[in-house]
Chains A and B, each alone.
Chain A
Amino acid sequence: MPANGPADTAPVITVSSLVKQFGRFAALRGVSAEFSGGKLYAVLGDNGAGKTTLLRTLAGLNQPTSGQVTILGASKFHDICRQVGYMAHPSLLYDEMSGMENLAYFARLYGIADGSRCAEVIRSVGLDPDLARPVGQYSQGMRQRMSLARALLNDPKILLLDEPFSNVDIHSATDMVRLLARTRDQGKTIFVVTHQAQLLAGAADEFIWMQAGQIVGRTHDLKPPEGTN
């Protein structure tokens, strides 16, 4: 069952021989791994290594061609979707609405009736909930923060983040890393797919190296495992 303390090492996510094909192209070529709770994982690899596909498959957005994903003991994503927060490369926000309006809408989807939750989560990412500007006029850094706020909205146990730091200035990015580390310390499991591994050098518990649709190594520091390029 779900891991609540950082010390708990039972796997919260188990992936076994996961294969995902898009037509003739295999994006994931047999990924098997276990991930324990309360950790911050950095998923690294070149373009086309399958990082985003792995994340989307964990988030139930891609159906695996074969193989299995088990999250918090459930094999159907729908059963545990409340426990998962997903942040994609695009913002997943409506450009024409303000941050607060966006979150208020998504809160309804999760059946969150408490109106203060949206303001709380916006504040937690360092933004002002009363900002009336539509999200379309935000800077990239603000948009990514708001996008993270959306992922955090339902207070998930597992956070799946795809390139949260892309095009974000270094100040905002370090801020976000600090927030992620804090969130991890509350017992959440966090996956960050990123090209900017050095940002997570101090914060990540483990680095997952992907290459050509497979996990080729797991390390505790930023040194690539043997036999990779």
Chain B
Amino acid sequence: MPAPTAITRATLLKDLRLEWRSKDAINSMLFFSLLVVVVFSFSFDPSAEESRQIAGGLIWVAFLFAAVVALNQTWARELRNQVLDAYRVSPAPANSLFLAKALGNFIFVSVLEALMTPLFIAFYRLRAIGPAWQLLIVAMLGTWALVVNGTFFAAMSLRTRSREIMLPLLLFPISVPAILAMVQATTAILTGETGARFWIVLLVTYDLVFTTSCLLLFETVLNAE
């Protein structure tokens, strides 16, 4: 049996290489979230002091929609030429594939966040009043919450009609607590009014519960036909 971690690493590197060559996911994600930022700025005055109150929500909504673009791409890559079948006939464990895909998406969405955040700060003149380092933790935990479920549901929607529409329909309701936690924690840190501790703990628990259950269920979903 090949080591599961070696397969995860090989698959992750393969995905990064494919993305590096095509840049499909990252380009469409970047452009998409840029559009969201610009469109939002028309609906209210972005430089007003109140915008700090809603900036947390705004950032995450932009990232959430952009992440859906990336999540749909991950499995589309495996469906072209039905390469996924080659994985399924091999002795490699299903969960290695899942972890590689989730990590890959985590990297893509993190890159997006790193590129977009300066733009947000500039457009909305943000500065954190609370402890800014906590934002990093919130971003990492929140991004993982989105991509772990997103990767799972993207694999699930592969098996449905009109799969690109199916993904957000499945992902958004279950992500409500995570989105709420991310938004609230971000707002709490930006405004410095309350602590973000509760939300961070909630995110950690959410991540643990859903990572475990996705790993337990993924093989079933991958082999459902």
Contact = CB atoms under 8 A, between A and B. Distances in A.
Indicate if A touches B (C-beta under 8 A). yes
A90 B10 contact: no
Contacts of A216: none
A108 interface: yes
Chain A binding site: helix, strand, loop or mixed by DSSP? loop
A97 B18 contact: yes
Report whether over half of chain B's contact residues are helix, strand or loop; otherwise say mixed.
helix
Nearest to A135: B81
Interface in B1-39: 1-3, 6-7, 10-11, 14, 17-18, 21-22
A81 B1 CA distance: 11
Interface stretch (A39-47, A59-67, A171-179): A59-67
A81 B91 contact: yes
B7 A109 contact: yes
Contacts of A78: 91
Contact of B21 (A77, A91, A93, A96): A96
Contacts of B3: 111
A56 B160 CA distance: 20
Interface residues of A, number: 30
Contact of B81 (A81, A94, A154): A94
A86 B87 contact: no
A86 B18 contact: no
Interface in B83-127: 83, 85-92
B43 interface: no
Interface of A: 59-63, 77-78, 81-82, 84, 86, 88, 90-97, 101, 105-106, 108-111, 134, 150, 154
12 contacts: A60-B89, A81-B90, A82-B91, A90-B81, A92-B81, A94-B81, A95-B81, A96-B18, A105-B10, A109-B2, A110-B91, A111-B2
Interface of B: 1-3, 6-7, 10-11, 14, 17-18, 21-22, 77, 80-83, 85-92, 223, 225
